[in-house]
A = this chain, B = another copy of it.
Amino acid sequence: MHGANMFEKKLALAAEAVERHLSDLLANDRPGSVEAGRLGDAMRYGALGGGKRMRPFLVMETAGLFGVRQSLTLNAAAAVECVHCYSLIHDDLPAMDDDELRRGRPTVHMAFDEATAILAGDALLTFAFEILARPETHADPATRSELVLGLARASGWEGMAGGQQLDLEAEDAVQIIEDVERIQALKTGALIRFAAEAGAILGRASTEERRAVVNFAEKLGLAFQIADDLLDATGDTAIVGKATGKDAAAGKASFISLLGVPAARQRLARLEAEAISALAAFGTRASVLQEAARFVSRRRS
């Protein structure tokens, strides 16, 4: 198999495995379960049935670098995805980015209502920590505790939530490229970075190995955001599956408005190369992750 094909197949298989696992975790037919109701429906609507599942893929693949079987990574992968899905639900709310379309479907507050969307986000965030703390996630409680700590730091006021706040405030402010990078590092970078780090934690990586994986993920996360901005500036709603051109319409600074399309594409190519070389020490074991870096920077949707 060629690299790109192999990668796309791996990504699709990982996405299927995560979808199945999330669906089991969020099942509404458990005995004694109290929330076969509207909240559970909204959580499932927001968490199932879509997305590339890039973050779970990173958890699984980086753990795979250290020989961890996929079945032993699924809980951590699902937890990271729950946090990602909660953040999408809340970011889409009228008081935030006010989006009506996500992955080609009505957003959670459109399909349900605003109160239910707020609670579904809250409950998915909470559920992520429940999953990580369950004994079946890892036999060693120190590892579970480390995963909880890392996910909380990546998601909270010094991570994703802090980045979303800065992003909302940025709509009214003149910005330089360093601001845009700092916001990205928090808003989307921190969780992507933790996804890779979680694999290293599960795999009991050495300090040096962990640093390499984190370095890879930081480049990948930045590449992901620049690619996203390029799609927003140049993509088509029907292909991308969500509204495009929103940044420019909001007068919001982005990698594109500050660098222009050609320089942004150059930056993306450099990040792709740096991400790939960050994993050089792992040899061919890292080839799928290296393909991921190529995929992210070249994606069209």
| Contact among B90, B148, B166 for A145, CB-based, below 8 A | B148
CB <8 Å contact, B116 and A162: no
| Contact among B40, B142, B166 for A157, CB-based, below 8 A | B40
Q: How far is the CB of A75 from chain B (nearest CB, A)?
A: 12
Quick one: which of A20-37 are within 8 Å of B by CB? Answer: 33-35, 37
Which chain B residue lies CB-closest to A161? B123
CB <8 Å contact, B129 and A148: yes
The number of residues on chain A lying at the interface, defined by a beta carbon within 8 Å of a beta carbon of chain B, is 55
Chain A interface SS verdict (over half): helix
CB <8 Å contact, A39 and B162: yes
A118 within 8 A of B: yes
Q: Copy number of this protein in the oligomer?
A: 2
A156 within 8 A of B: yes
Q: How far is the CB of A165 from chain B (nearest CB, A)?
A: 4
Quick one: which of A212-245 are within 8 Å of B by CB? Answer: none
Using Cβ atoms and an 8 Å threshold, which residues of chain B touch A164? 119
Using Cβ atoms and an 8 Å threshold, which residues of chain B touch A249? none
A126 within 8 A of B: yes
Using Cβ atoms and an 8 Å threshold, which residues of chain B touch A123? 156-157, 161-162
Query: Which A residues are within 8 Å of any B CB, using their own CB?
Result: 33-35, 37-40, 43, 86, 90, 93, 95-96, 113-116, 118-119, 121-123, 125-127, 129-130, 132-135, 140-142, 144-146, 148-149, 151-153, 155-158, 161-162, 164-166, 168-169, 182, 186
